[in-house]
Amino acid sequence: MTEAELDGLVAQIAEEVLARVPGGTTRSAPAGKGEGLNLPNEVCPGCVQRCAQTCAANTRQILSAGAERVSASERLTRIDPAIAGVIDHTILKPEATRADLLKVCREARQYGFASVCVNPYWVPLVRNELAGSAVKVCTVVGFPLGATSTEAKVAEAAAAVRAGAQEIDMVINVGALRSGDRLAVERDIRAVVEVSHRAGAIVKVILETALLDDPQKVVASTLAKLAGADFVKTSTGFNKSGATVHDVALMRSVVGPSMGVKAAGGIRTLADLEAMTAAGATRIGASASVKIVEATAA
């Protein structure tokens, strides 16, 4: 595809999507999901909990609503095995120590989380600690700025999958996108997707929506889809703001049902989580996971 052809295709898609979001206002939740996934005044017979995280019945409601995984920080309590399988157990703090990583891996094995997401340096350690379990190894590429060269991102992704990573979260080149260099952004994503897919790893593309306007978010989501990525993700969690319901709904409207959408950054309450899943998120990234879990159990 030439640059002119790509620009024309992206412009057409952007025009169609933005036309469905009048004035750039927040879209309402999908029909049937406006009240969220957890009804705080209803409990199972004989149960004292009202917790989507620790109640198997409410867990099934979340999964039936479209959730595939829920991401959370390393500080988790009272996680039921029924929900653990949809959680990406995440520790990306630069100051995290070997002891911190070992703790996260122990928790992941104990609860049966879907993955442990770490910075690339720790991938070999996490791979060894999770050996023999069903928990996957996830890492980040071009993180958190996305401003490295495509060659550097490809090399980083290739090294990560050789070391045992099974999921790659890459950050787009935000500056190139804002400059209108769509072909460069698409090629950047595609190169990482190709090296990752060859090794059987999936790719989640972080748009860093806090730095983009709506038309740019549509373009970024479109380019990620055209490049063959598996997910689009709102944020790194390292910038000025994170996910919004509006952004999640907009991204879902662009990528359709065939791709995952992950909301991350600024999700601190159960109400936040419910709003994001109702808007179309199939994974949730949260650093306030303890607060969320304790709120559901109140």
Is residue 158 assigned to a domain? yes
Give CA–CA dist 1/144, Å, rounded.
29
Instruction: Please report which confidence band the pLDDT of residue 180 belongs to, taking 50, 70 and 90 as the band edges.
Output: very high
The vertex-143 CA angle with 14 and 151, nearest 5°, equals: 80
- Asked whether the predicted pLDDT for residue 81 surpasses 60, the reply is no
pLDDT value of residue 61:
56
Q: Give the count of domains, the chain.
A: 1
> How far lies 269's CA from each of 59, 91, 143, 237, 296, in Å?
17, 19, 26, 16, 9
Is residue 1 assigned to a domain? no
Is residue 234 assigned to a domain? yes
> Higher-confidence residue: 55 or 132?
132
Is residue 11 assigned to a domain? no
Is residue 22 assigned to a domain? no
For the ranges 20-29, 100-109, 114-123, 246-255, the maximum mean pLDDT occurs at: 246-255
Model confidence pLDDT, tens digit, residues 182-210 = 999 999 999 999 999 999 999 999 999 99
**Which residues are designated catalytic?**
169, 233, 262
- Mean pLDDT over 88-97 rounds to 89
Provide the residue range defining the domain that includes 152.
Answer: 48-296
Grouping H, G, I as helix, E, B as strand and the rest as coil, residue 232 is: strand
Report the half-sphere exposure of 158 (CA within 13 A, side-chain side).
9
Is residue 167 assigned to a domain? yes
CB distance 207 to 188 below 8 Å: no
- Mean pLDDT over 91-105 rounds to 93
With pLDDT > 90 as the criterion, what percentage of the chain qualifies?
Answer: 49
- Write the burial class of residue 195 (CB in 10 Å: 0-12 exposed, 13-18 middle, 19+ buried): buried
Model confidence pLDDT, tens digit, residues 10-52 = 988 888 888 887 555 444 333 333 333 333 444 444 444 434 4
Is residue 9 assigned to a domain? no
Please, what is the average pLDDT of the chain? 80
Is residue 168 assigned to a domain? yes
Instruction: Please report which confidence band the pLDDT of residue 106 belongs to, taking 50, 70 and 90 as the band edges.
Output: confident
Instruction: Please report which confidence band the pLDDT of residue 270 belongs to, taking 50, 70 and 90 as the band edges.
Output: low
pLDDT value of residue 24:
53
Looking up residue 290, the CATH number of its domain turns out to be 3.20.20.70
pLDDT value of residue 277:
79
Least confident of 22-36, 128-142, 171-185, 228-242: 22-36
